[in-house]
Structure 1
Amino acid sequence: MEIKQAPTESLSSLQNDRDGEIGKGNGKGVVGQLKKVVLAYSGGLDTSVIVPWLRENYGCEVVCFTADVGQGMKELKGLEEKAIASGASKLVVKDLKEEFAKDFIFPCLRAGAVYERKYLLGTSMARPVIAKAMVDVAEEVGADAVAHGCTGKGNDQVRFELACFALNPNLKVVAPWREWDITGRQDAIEYAKKHNIPIPVTKKSIYSRDANLWHLSHEGDVLEDPTNEPKKDMYMISTDPEDAPNEPEYVEIGIEGGVPVSINGELLSPASLISKANHIGGKHGIGRIDMVENRLVGMKSRGVYETPGGTILFAAVRELESLTLDRETIQVKDSLALKYAELVYAGRWFDPLRESMDAFMKKITETTTGSVSLKLYKGSVQVAGRRSLYSLYREDISSFENGQIYNQADAAGFIRLYGLPTRVRAMLNKSL
């Protein structure tokens, strides 16, 4: 979606009024160095200020780009007017929800990728799909650079920029937070006022949040002290388990090739399936995670995540794998899942290593097809049943009764051979 041209305020008027500005660059920005920049734009204070700052310091046209990854249409309302009023030439909005779910979330789900035991990679997976679309837009409009509003302390700057390097190494990347003299919210407000830039009038949240189809994250305020318990009113998409229904709910997840395809027998598109799982899980307080994680840039940070649907789907896929995968395959898959998660967290989505690992995960989960019934109750997810035509479980073998395939007497010879190294070591110790 492209929006009408911005008001005809000349670039020269901005360029000639640079001295003494709060947002004056530190020498890295050179007027006229860039012709057109595509900015990852949210409409918040930071990106609203970045638009005039780019025009002032780089003498360039700014095209704003917004990705809908399921963060909610409220965040997209009125962005056209905001972007143009800030000085952008136009706004491009792309709906990436289905692509995000199918090509980014589901591969991670199939791989079993979890970062540092807890984090289901909600923000990490969203950045490469946004960056990919932003590069596409840059090529469509003939831009020679892209820009983002990530700070120099976080992981997202790495994720965005590595994706851009991988997809179009000729594009320059501008990161204002690493260049300008704006040090905080008040500086940004003053800069916006001086340039007559409309800024959001809504009350600023005390938390830093990131929302998308897969999760909602919370950082900042009381969470910065790891001894503090999260406040009850902080959570937004999941019910407090104490207030959840007093009766459990059973949900059946249909799975094909290691990815979910249906809920309670209803076939759904990837994005619709995740949305429905979020609604069901949120109602029962599923998927709340509180963790201290190691950021890529070296520091530790404390975050709280709400991933109700993802928690349900992860549990379903893993439970079905217990039927369809043998022991060695599960062990190798689990070991690779750790590396897979690290690559995604570190912004290396487009690395050949992750792509190769993804091919492996797709191959070994070809038979992970069937359904899993789960019991949801006050924040907990318990498996109630599993079924698959490719099940490696045989009741006639596992039963305590003797069968034709497994003779219990055979175990004696197996134990003697399996325990031979143990016996030899013990014999050696006795002889010393």
Structure 2
Amino acid sequence: MLKHENKQYKKVILAYSGGLDTSTIVPWLKENYGCEVVCFVADVGQEREDLEGIEQKAKQSGASKCIIKDLREEFVKDYVFEMMKTGALYEGEYLLGTAIARPIIAKAMVECALAEGADAVAHGATGKGNDQVRFEAAVAALAPQLDVIAPWRIWDLQSREELLAYLNERNIPCKTTLKKIYSRDANCLHISTEGGELENTWNAPTENVWVWTTSPEKAPDTPETFELTIEKGVVTQINGKTMSPFEIISELNERGARNGVGRIDLTENRLVGMKSRGCYETPGGTIIYKALRAIEQLVLDKSTRVFREHLAVEFAQLVYDGRWFTRLRDILQAAADECAKEVNGKVVLKLYKGNIDIIQKDSPNSLFNFDFVTFGADQVYSQADGDGFIRLYTLPSRIRAINAAAKKK
């Protein structure tokens, strides 16, 4: 049964990747809804070969046209860097490379739909994953008047074999073969890999899993050092050279990848309830994450640091769950911006065989004061001040002990 079986659409905008799934969705939409299909492709910094010939491929599948939108600078500036300020890490490890790309893709797709006069949008996300929620939550927030068609939740096709047969019956060319070991998602922040040997958590990932980063064992034997300039929680320069956000992430990706930086192997809790295993490569993002935390060590007092860490957990969950276009995200982002106001300074990093060491850091807003922490003689802090501080600090423990002793009598 089709979710919208009684509806006929004039025009549907399809979030299109050029793979087997979305190539099948184009003719399926036309046959089941009698609509014109416009393919929408978001360029968020994936491999250039993924975009090569994609317009022709879309039209061969039956699309009336294919719109490609360059979102690279906006993606890094308004999504990746804004998220990085918060310190967000999903389940303590994942830098949210796939999740953070979904809101900008959905937003651009909605804008395309409104400009084209479409009455629905469609996507190729499955009913088992997180992306269906992320895409549809964005559409609900930005253009609730648009219907959303999710073929994987309603069609009768169940396997790659059936999808290929469907295309062959219609003489629609597709270079995809039945042998697809891994499922991958890529943008300028990361590459994720699932499937193959990773479906057994006892299997170590082979080198075939890692497509971006050099193995730490094969990385250069000489450490690589460089300096980052940070302004209000955002990296603005590399070795003193001002660069655009996309240029910064691209260069840091190159530096990190050749030094084996940014690999994780994570079994995570999906939004829909099941666990899944993925190997993520995030070289540039990992470098930025470490650099920002280094400046925070200098400028955030203890209470603010604790608050920022709570904020990071909440923000990571929000991004993962597809709640970017919500009032809560606005509030959390405002808090992160306030925390980042004094996160300014310079950091020198050393990359070596998968490791990142912060070897120098300085900030004009640093709370680190040599006069107070020196082990030498000083004139600003009396050692005897510790007596009163400790007595008050331990007062609850003292009272508890006194009460316990009184009860024993």
Instruction: Judge same fold: TM > 0.5, yes or no.
Output: yes
Question: Are residue 101 (structure 1) and residue 112 (structure 2) matched?
Answer: no
Match of 1:374 in 2: 349
- Greater displacement, 113-122 / 372-381: 372-381
- Greater displacement, 260-269 / 296-305: 260-269
Residue type of the alignment partner of 2:217: E
Match of 1:261 in 2: 236
Residue type of the alignment partner of 1:270: P
Match of 1:325 in 2: 300
Question: Are residue 121 (structure 1) and residue 86 (structure 2) matched?
Answer: no
Match of 1:4 in 2: none
SS in 1 for 2:397: helix
Residue type of the alignment partner of 2:278: G
Deviations 1:52-84 (A, max 9, x none): 000000111101000000002111111111111
Displacement after TM superposition at 1:421 (Å): 1.4
Give TM-score scaled by structure 1 length: 0.92
Give TM-score scaled by structure 2 length: 0.97
CA distance in 2, matches of 1:215, 1:359: 26
SS in 1 for 2:13: strand
SS in 2 for 1:238: coil
Matches within 5 A, 1:242-257: 242-257=217-232
CA RMSD of aligned residues (A): 1.2
Structure 1 regions of 5+ residues with no counterpart?
A: 1-25
Match of 1:218 in 2: 193
Aligned-residue identity in percent? 54
* Partner residue of 2:49 out of 74, 84, 95: 74
Displacement after TM superposition at 1:403 (Å): 2.4
SS in 2 for 1:122: coil
Match of 2:114 in 1: 139
SS in 2 for 1:364: helix
CA distance in 1, matches of 2:133, 2:4: 20
Question: Are residue 292 (structure 1) and residue 267 (structure 2) matched?
Answer: yes
CA distance in 2, matches of 1:211, 1:113: 19
Displacement after TM superposition at 1:232 (Å): 1.5
- Greater displacement, 261-270 / 90-99: 261-270
Match of 1:283 in 2: 258
* Partner residue of 2:138 out of 154, 163, 173: 163
- Greater displacement, 120-129 / 406-415: 406-415
CA distance in 2, matches of 1:318, 1:307: 17
Match of 1:335 in 2: 310
Displacement after TM superposition at 1:404 (Å): 2.8
SS in 2 for 1:234: coil
- Greater displacement, 202-211 / 44-53: 202-211
SS in 2 for 1:322: helix
SS in 1 for 2:213: coil
SS in 2 for 1:417: helix
Match of 1:3 in 2: none
Structure 2 regions of 5+ residues with no counterpart?
A: none
SS in 1 for 2:202: coil
CA distance in 1, matches of 2:256, 2:385: 47
The answer to whether the 8 Å contact 2:161/2:178 transfers is no
Deviations 1:70-127 (A, max 9, x none): 0021111111111111111111000001111011101110000000010000000000
Deviations 1:153-178 (A, max 9, x none): 00000000000000001010000000
Displacement after TM superposition at 1:402 (Å): 3.7
| Number of equivalent positions | 407
Deviations 1:353-412 (A, max 9, x none): 011100110012101000111111111111101101111110111111242322211111
SS in 2 for 1:161: helix
Question: Are residue 58 (structure 1) and residue 18 (structure 2) matched?
Answer: no
CA distance in 2, matches of 1:114, 1:255: 20
Displacement after TM superposition at 1:205 (Å): 3.8
CA distance in 2, matches of 1:341, 1:87: 39
